[in-house]
Amino acid sequence: MVTIKSKREIELIKESCKIVAQTHELLEKSIKPGISTYELDKIAEDYIRSKGAFPSEKGYPSGIKGVQDFPGSICASINDEVIHGIPSKKVILKEGDIVSFDLTACKNGFHGDAARTYIVGKAKTKEDENLLEVTKQAFFEGAKQAKEGNRVGDISNAIYTYIIKNGFSVLKEFQGHGIGRQMHEDPGIPNYGMAGRGTRLKAGMTICIEPMVIAGHPDILELDDGWTIVSRDGTNSAHYENTILITEKEPEILTIL
């Protein structure tokens, strides 16, 4: 069920979103060759908790027998890991790595969610730089359609069209989502689809738009940890996400400071 947030609920969501944005800024400053994703996870968790919030992803249930609940406070995905990478002391960032952080903070019962992708130091190839630029811009192409009266399909189609036009592939098995009292709410926001289809957008909705892009073929695999999704062909990937408020005018991006 899609929920329309009250003014008070929107203010609470904004507070959580600000913490998310600040955490991403801190992570960006902390990235360097030689640091582990475990250390970055701890930096993020400590900051989130210092703001009176908690990391929503820590302990998120897998829903699958034999698969542990998510052990990290953030998702930290490296190179061909598209999403849901588990932070680890064994994963050490190297010059030229592509690293994506997806994190959610909850304060006063409401969640904020955003993802960012960075290159550690200097990029190995121009394609890696282009991959990040296209993924980020795909978000903004989708966000242009996040207006009252439009439909979810308008967002989805804009994202897909932009990514394909630029020669990359779209991860179709996962999608954006509504957000509020729950980290994942209705409606789902796919990164592909037909314009004019899907849930109609209304002022007061809070949604997460999150293009997930693969440099090569769109096929994916799930690692044995039950969480990490990688590109089947081993090509690099990127992820960019923000929480957005649908208004009577232009959409308001809540996870950018």
Residue ranges per structural domain of the chain? 7-253
pLDDT digits (tens, 9 = 90+) for 106-143: 999 999 999 999 999 999 999 999 999 999 999 999 99
CATH number for the domain formed by residue range(s) 7-253: 3.90.230.10
Q: What is the pLDDT of residue 85?
A: 98
Q: What is the 3-state secondary structure (H, E, C) of the chain?
A: CECCCCHHHHHHHHHHHHHHHHHHHHHHHHCCCCCEHHHHHHHHHHHHHHCCCEECCCCCCCCCCCCCCCCCCCEEEECCEEECCCCCCCCECCCCCEEEEEEEEEECCEEEEEEEEEECCCCCCHHHHHHHHHHHHHHHHHHCCCCCCCEHHHHHHHHHHHHHHCCCEECCCCCEEECCCCCCEEEEECCCCCCCCCCECCCCCEEEECCEEECCCCCEEECCCCCCEEECCCCCEEECEEEEECCCCCCEECCCC
| Mean pLDDT across 15-24 | 98
Model pLDDT for residues 181-227, shown as the tens digit of each residue:
999 999 999 999 999 999 999 999 999 999 999 999 999 999 999 99
* pTM of the complete model: 0.97
